[in-house]
Amino acid sequence: GVNVSTFGTSRRMFRHTGTVERRIALLIQILRQHIIMQILVVGYHLDRQSREEDFHLDARLLQFH
């Protein structure tokens, strides 16, 4: 079965952390930061790739200004 003392300890730690809503909010915050980081990394690589492709086009456009 479940070890009662371990279960009690984890529950006490959870109570110390705060309410269920606060724990969920914290989890969502961590997840959102992780997702934003992933989007930034992927977006940076895609942006750099497209910028290398558009380099010659940009060079031509700059000559007009």
pLDDT tens digit at each of 65 positions of the chain:
555 666 666 666 655 556 888 889 999 999 999 999 999 988 888 888 877 777 767 777 777 65
Segments forming the whole domain that contains residue 55: 4-64
Query: Domain total for the chain?
Result: 1
What pLDDT, on the 0 to 100 scale, is given for residue 21? 86
| Closest to 14 in 3D by CA, of 2, 23, 6, 5 | 23
Query: What's the rounded Cα separation, in Å, for the pair 26 and 34?
Result: 12
pTM above threshold 0.75: no
What pLDDT, on the 0 to 100 scale, is given for residue 29? 93
